[in-house]
Amino acid sequence: MVKSWATSPETLGVDLHIDVGGAGLRSGLMDALREAVRTGRLAPGARLPSSRTLAADLGIARNTVADAYAELVAEGWLTARQGSGTRVAQRSRARQDRGHAPRPTARRKPAYNLMAGSPDLASFPRAEWLKAARHALTEAPHEAFGIGDPRGRIELRTALADYLARARGVYASPDRIVVCSGFLHGLMLMASVLRARRVREVAVESYGLDFHRKALTDAGLRTPPLALDERGTRTEELGELKGAGAVLMTPAHQFPIGLPLPPDRRAAAVDWARATGGLIVEDDYDGEFRYDRQPVGALQGLDPEHVVYLGTASKALAPGLRLGWMVLPARLVEEVERAKSAANGDWACGALDQLTLARFISSGAYDRHVRTMRLRYRRRRDQLVAALAERAPDVRVSGIAAGLHALLELPPGTERSVVQGAAWQSLALEGLSHFRHPQLPPDRDALVVGYGTPPDSGWAGALDALMRVLP
C-alpha cells in the first residue's frame, strides 16, 4: 500500500503530503507533484526529499521516484543540481497552469498611517521587555508550564491589582481579576455571560467600534444606541431603554468623539445600574494618556459591584501582546471563569507572557514607559494642533485632552471626498461615519486622526499628507 505522507529531515522539517493515485505509481506521483506545485503547496525553490528518502517514506521503489523526478525536471517543473538536490523550479506567472486563476495581487500598503487605535509600534520597549522576560523565565515555577488557572497567573493578577488601584483608581484584588487575550476577548466572555443571564440588550454609545458591536450581536444580544451630545454620552437616558441589561461605555475618553464623561452622567450610569441590577462594561482603552489635566479615574471605582472594568496592554505597549484583563464584580468571577474555560483554546494567554508583563509592571518599567510615551504623544498632538492652526485654520479640532487620536470637524458633505483624497495621497485615514451606529442617520462630518500610530520617522510625512487633503 502506498503511503501518502513523506516525513524526513531532507524536507527541512516539513511534512510532505503526496496523494499518489492513478493507473501507475510513476504517473500518479508525477500528477501529485505537479498539483502540489501548481496550487502553490510546494513553493518555488522548495527542496524535495531525495529519491531514496521519498521512496522509503512512500513505500515504493527508488527507481520509480527517480524516473518521476527526471521527467518533471525535463518538463520544467523541477530542477536538479549537484549539491543542491531536487527543488521546485522558479516559474513565472506566464507559465502557470491556465486552468487555475492566478493568486490575487496584494494591496499596496499606504505610505502613511493615521488610523486610530494603535500606538507607535516602533517604540515598543524591547530592551526592558527582554529583561523582564529573562527574569520571568528564570524565576518561573515549574507549574507555570502547565495548564494553569483560567483566571490567569497569580503574579500578573497581583501586579495588576496594585497598578490599577494606584494609577486608575480601580477597586481591584487578585481574586476579582481574569486575564484575557485583549479587550475583544474580554468583551466576548462578557457577552456570553450576559446571554446566559438572559440579558437580551446591551446599550452602546452612538459612536464606537463596529467589531465591538459585532461581538455582542454574534452572542445574540441587541445593541440599541445611547444618544451623545456636546457633553458626551447621555447616560440619563439609560432608563428609557427598557430592554437593556448592560451598557458598554468608554467613560474616560469616549471613542471616537474624545469627550470624558462628566461627573453627573457618571453618577447617572451608576444609579441606573443599581436601580435595575444592570451592568456597566467599562472600556478604559487609553485612560493612562492624559495631557492637560489630572487623569480621569475609572468609573469602576464608583461601584465595583456594578461595573466590569476592561483594560489592555494594547495602547500602552502593543496589541500584538494579546494581553488584557477584566476586573469583575465578585458575583461574576466564577461565571466568567467558566466561560473562559469553555471557550476556544486559541484565546489562551501564554504563561510566560503573563509572567513577563507581571515583572514589567512590578519593576516600574511599565510606569516609566507610559510616562515616556505620554510626553511623545503630547508632543505629536501639539504639532498636529499647530499645523492645523497654520495650514487649515477653518478645521476645528477636539478630543485632544487625552488619548491617541483627535477629531477634526469638516464642512458638511465633505468627509467622503477627504477620505478618498487621503487614499490618493497614500494616507490611511478614517472618517467619523465609519464609527457611527448603523441605526443612526448621518449627523456630522469629521475625521478621526490617530496621531499615535506612525513611527517617529514617518510622523512628519503623515502630518504633511494630512494637511494636503484637508479642505
Q: What is the pLDDT of residues 419-442, one digit of tens each?
A: 999 998 899 999 999 999 999 998
- Choice among 36-40, 221-225, 309-313, 418-422 with the minimum mean pLDDT: 36-40
Confidence at residue 314, expressed as pLDDT on a 0 to 100 scale: 94
CA–CA separation, 29 and 63 (whole Å): 12
Confidence at residue 107, expressed as pLDDT on a 0 to 100 scale: 59
| pLDDT (average), residues 12-20 | 59
Residue 297 has pLDDT above 80, yes or no: yes
DSSP conformation letters of 169-229? -----GGGEEEESSHHHHHHHHHHHHHHTT--EEEEESB--HHHHHHHHHTT-B--EE-EE
Residue 92 has pLDDT above 70, yes or no: no
Residue 11 has pLDDT above 50, yes or no: no
Rounded mean pLDDT of the chain?
A: 89
Helix axes 333-342, 183-196, angle to 10 degrees: 110
Confidence at residue 109, expressed as pLDDT on a 0 to 100 scale: 84
This prediction's pTM: 0.79
Confidence at residue 6, expressed as pLDDT on a 0 to 100 scale: 52
CB 226 within 8 A of CB 206: yes
Residue 13 has pLDDT above 80, yes or no: no
**20 vs 406 pLDDT, higher one:** 406
Provide the 10 A C-beta neighbour count for residue 61: 13
Strand 446-450 versus strand 78-81 pairing type: unpaired
Confidence at residue 347, expressed as pLDDT on a 0 to 100 scale: 58
φ/ψ of 132, rounded to 5, equals -65, -40
Confidence at residue 157, expressed as pLDDT on a 0 to 100 scale: 97
Confidence at residue 99, expressed as pLDDT on a 0 to 100 scale: 40
What pLDDT, in 10s, does the model give residues 320-351? 999 999 999 999 999 999 999 887 555 568 99
Confidence at residue 8, expressed as pLDDT on a 0 to 100 scale: 46
| Residue 366, CA distances (Å) to 324, 370, 456 in order | 14, 6, 21
Residue 77 has pLDDT above 50, yes or no: yes
CB 354 within 8 A of CB 426: no
What pLDDT, in 10s, does the model give residues 148-169? 888 999 999 999 999 999 999 9
| Residue 263, CA distances (Å) to 89, 252, 255, 266 in order | 68, 11, 18, 5
Confidence at residue 417, expressed as pLDDT on a 0 to 100 scale: 93
Provide the 10 A C-beta neighbour count for residue 177: 26
Confidence at residue 219, expressed as pLDDT on a 0 to 100 scale: 95
Residue 223 has pLDDT above 90, yes or no: yes
**145 vs 4 pLDDT, higher one:** 145
Domain architecture of the chain: domains with CATH? 5-95 (1.10.10.10), 112-118+368-469 (3.90.1150.10), 123-364 (3.40.640.10)
What pLDDT, in 10s, does the model give residues 341-394? 887 555 568 999 999 999 999 999 999 999 999 999 999 999 999 999 999 999
Confidence at residue 93, expressed as pLDDT on a 0 to 100 scale: 43
pLDDT band at 16 (very low <50, low <70, confident <90, very high): low
Confidence at residue 4, expressed as pLDDT on a 0 to 100 scale: 55
What pLDDT, in 10s, does the model give residues 24-53? 788 888 888 888 888 877 888 888 888 888
Our CA angle for 281, 283, 289, nearest 5°, is 155
> Among residues 81, 102, 88, which one has the least CA distance to residue 36?
88
| pLDDT (average), residues 294-314 | 93
Q: Beta strands of 93-187 (E only): which ranges? A: 112-113, 177-180
Confidence at residue 2, expressed as pLDDT on a 0 to 100 scale: 62
Helix (H) or strand (E) holding 35: helix 25-38
| Residue 65, CA distances (Å) to 10, 30, 52 in order | 15, 9, 8
Provide the 10 A C-beta neighbour count for residue 264: 10
| Residue 165, CA distances (Å) to 172, 270, 298, 300, 309 in order | 6, 19, 10, 11, 12
Q: What nine digits make up the cell of 317? A: 505597549
What pLDDT, in 10s, does the model give residues 118-153? 899 999 999 999 999 999 999 999 999 988 888 999
Q: What nine digits make up the cell of 326? A: 477584566
Confidence at residue 15, expressed as pLDDT on a 0 to 100 scale: 52
